Amino acid sequence: MKIIVQKFGGTSVHTPELREKAALKLKEAYEEGYSPVAVVSAMGRAGAPYATDTLISLAKNEYEHLDSRNLDILMSTGEIISAVIMTQTLRKLGLKAVVVTGWQAGIITDDRFGDATIKRVDTKKILSYLEKGYIVVVAGFQGASEDGEITTLGRGGSDTSAVILGLALEAEYVDIFTDVIGVMTADPRIVPEAHILEGLTYTEAAEIIQQGAKVIHDKAMNIAREYRVPLRVRSLNDEGKGTLICDIRSMSKEGLRLFSQDRTVYSIAFRKGLAQFRVKLNGKKEDNLLMFQLLANKGISIDLINLFPDIVAFVVEEGKALRVKEILEKEGFELTLIYPCAKISLVGSGMADRPGVVADMVEALRESKIEILQTSDSHVTISCLVHAADMEKAIQVLHRKFQLEDIC
Q: Does 72 appear as a known binding residue?
A: no
Burial class (CB in 10 A: 0-12, 13-18, 19+), 376: middle
**What size, in residues, is the chain?**
408
Q: Does 215 appear as a known binding residue?
A: yes
- Residue 55 CA to residue 49 CA, distance in Å, equals 8
- Residue 258 CA to residue 205 CA, distance in Å, equals 12
- 178-181: Cβ within 8 A, 24+ apart: 178/9, 178/12, 178/214, 178/215, 178/216, 178/233, 178/234, 178/235, 179/11, 179/12, 179/235, 180/215, 180/233, 180/235, 181/234, 181/235, 181/237, 181/238, 181/240, 181/242
Q: Does 33 appear as a known binding residue?
A: no
Residue type for position 136: V
Q: Does 10 appear as a known binding residue?
A: yes
- Residue 176 CA to residue 214 CA, distance in Å, equals 11
Q: In DSSP terms, which residues pair with 232 in a beta bridge?
A: 175, 244
The answer to whether the beta carbons of residues 309 and 390 sit under 8 Å apart is no
- Nearest one of 259, 306, 303, 311 to 283, comparing CA atoms: 311
Cα–Cα distances in angstroms (integers) from residue 221 to residues 7, 41, 68, 126, 231, in the given order: 14, 17, 26, 23, 9
Q: Does 79 appear as a known binding residue?
A: yes
Q: Does 189 appear as a known binding residue?
A: yes
Q: In DSSP terms, which residues pair with 105 in a beta bridge?
A: none
Q: Does 381 appear as a known binding residue?
A: no
Report angle CA 201, 361, 408 to the nearest 5 degrees.
40
Burial class (CB in 10 A: 0-12, 13-18, 19+), 372: middle
Report angle CA 331, 337, 341 to the nearest 5 degrees.
140
- Residue 259 CA to residue 404 CA, distance in Å, equals 11
Give the single-character DSSP code of 406.
Answer: G
Q: Does 228 appear as a known binding residue?
A: no
Residues of each annotated binding site: 7-10, 52, 79, 178-179, 189, 214-215
Residues of each annotated binding site for substrate: 52, 79
Residues of each annotated binding site for ATP: 7-10, 178-179, 189, 214-215
